[in-house]
Structure 1
Amino acid sequence: MNERIRDARLWLVVPAAGRGRRMGAELPKQYLMLAGRPVMAHTLARLHQAFPAARLCLCLDPDDAHFDPAWVPFSHWRRSDGGGERADSVRRGLASIADEANDSDWVLVHDVARPCVRGGDLTRLYAALRQDAVGGLLAVPVADTMKRDDGEGRVAVTESRLGLWQAQTPQGFRYGLLRRALDEAAMRGLEITDEASAVEALGFSPRLVPGRRDNIKITHPEDLALADHVLAAQRAEPMPSSGAAHEENS
């Protein structure tokens, strides 16, 4: 086996430079309090529980005055300046680890505003990706009826939900592929809303790994209360062991 492939490391890139304008709060959403701790602290704790030996790159607004390093449980981590858009933050994060990362290293990109992701989903995703030539993402099949509007607030057509999936995070790809995909998307002026879409633009088909619907993203004010209920429900359940992942990413 190729030495670089066998020794590939795991990097976690967490874009957290957003200002949360849709929340309408005084603080960016990653710093709002959730079950007694900032949203960011919950998210990083979930990632660390699944991948304690991973290397973290946290992408923050250069003028961020709210961040506290005490929220980071990883022993190997670095801070990177974020950009105006999510893709810009991830690109800058990838550039900041170029001195350590190999093209064959795995990179999992996770939304800072998804604090409810389960450890079992994280380890299952990583296990699936390590057997895949392209990479992939957590996602859930669309369950609701989908309507397309006519631009004036009325239904133009009802879309079939057959084969439709709602993308979640983490999304994981090899470092070299992901960096090339995001750089080329930026050069071509493509609108990139997640890492998978950048990889798709290169002609690849990322793998869909079924996740759980409680891996919600906090975007609107009502989402914070929903996340609080989700965390409470999860605390009432036994957490699955993530020991297998501990051996994989050392």
Structure 2
Amino acid sequence: MTDTVSFHALVPAAGTGSRMGGDMPKQYLSLLGRPVIAHTLDALLRVPRLASVCVVLSPGDTWWERYAWPDDRRLRVLRSGGATRAASVAQGLAVLAGETSAKDWVLVHDAARACLAPEQVDHMLDELREDPIGGLLAMPLADTLKRADAAGRVDATLPRAGLWQAQTPQMFRIGLLADALRAYPDVTDEAGAIEAAGHAPRLIESGGANFKITYPQDLALAASILASRKEPRE
């Protein structure tokens, strides 16, 4: 495949982060003195090959304007977020579809995966740009898996061979992903829609640092990881 394509990042950030507790959406919680999502956007904007980085906010978001954001023409804000992640991604794709080719790539990334390294994104672009389907960052499961019964006791030990923990970015052709989400809007991630449409996304091995901030204790771990990288402060 020798066609020239462009790469775009899409960050759905319309959620409330209810598992964190409190009134502030988790993407705006303080992490090393800046909102969680600021670190996420920093990582994406440090990838020169990304033609745009689109943040999909809830139409009623009142937090975004309270902060200073990178002065980068590639950073775009779309106030068209939906009630679910899939709905927010679909709305973002609708905007991109009007400005790009269906063959161009979109990398959907969780706002709360603030420890993404730019090198991981560059590796994805290199590995997947000529792939017929696309793929996602993921990590092979290392822990033993237990299935619980209704009483909270172990019902069975499950084999972990071949099991991976899905992460983001998840990278697919804009046209293919838009079609898959229209057909399968109830998925929990983009790869799920692509799988439901009959395709097999490729797994690109990642690591534990690219975890999703979900609970209050996760902020301390993310701060430790970012501080160890001596992340620039803009």
TM-score (norm 1): 0.87
CA distance in 1, matches of 2:157, 2:71: 46
Q: Unmatched 5+ residue regions in structure 1?
A: 237-250
Whether the 8 Å CA contact 2:9–2:106 is kept in 1: the answer is yes
Matched, 1:216 2:215: no
The match for 2:80 is 81
Matched, 1:61 2:58: yes
Partner AA of 1:28 in structure 2: P
Point out the more displaced range, 171-180 or 21-30: 21-30
The match for 1:196 is 191
Whether the 8 Å CA contact 1:117–1:214 is kept in 2: the answer is yes
1:78–1:31 Cα change, 3 Å:
closer
User: CA shift at 1:89, angstroms?
Assistant: 0.6
User: CA shift at 1:96, angstroms?
Assistant: 2.0
User: CA shift at 1:73, angstroms?
Assistant: 4.4
CA distance in 2, matches of 1:156, 1:209: 32
Matched, 1:70 2:65: no
Secondary structure of the residue aligned to 2:23 is coil
Residues 14-25 of structure 1 aligned to structure 2 (within 5 Å): 14-25=11-22
Partner AA of 2:192 in structure 1: S
User: CA shift at 1:52, angstroms?
Assistant: 5.9
CA distance in 2, matches of 1:210, 1:100: 31
Identical-residue share of aligned pairs (%): 49
* Stretches (4+) displaced over 4 A: none
CA distance in 1, matches of 2:177, 2:49: 23
The match for 2:5 is 8
The match for 1:91 is 90
The match for 2:151 is 152
CA distance in 2, matches of 1:73, 1:196: 31
1:73–1:194 Cα change, 3 Å:
farther
Secondary structure of the residue aligned to 1:172 is strand
Deviations 1:218-239 (A, max 9, x none): 1111111111111122228xxx
Secondary structure of the residue aligned to 1:224 is helix
Q: Unmatched 5+ residue regions in structure 2?
A: none
> What is the aligned-residue RMSD (CA, Å)?
1.6
Partner AA of 2:14 in structure 1: A
**Would you say how many aligned residue pairs link Structure 1 and Structure 2?**
229
1:42–1:133 Cα change, 3 Å:
same
Whether the 8 Å CA contact 2:106–2:171 is kept in 1: the answer is yes
User: CA shift at 1:65, angstroms?
Assistant: 0.4
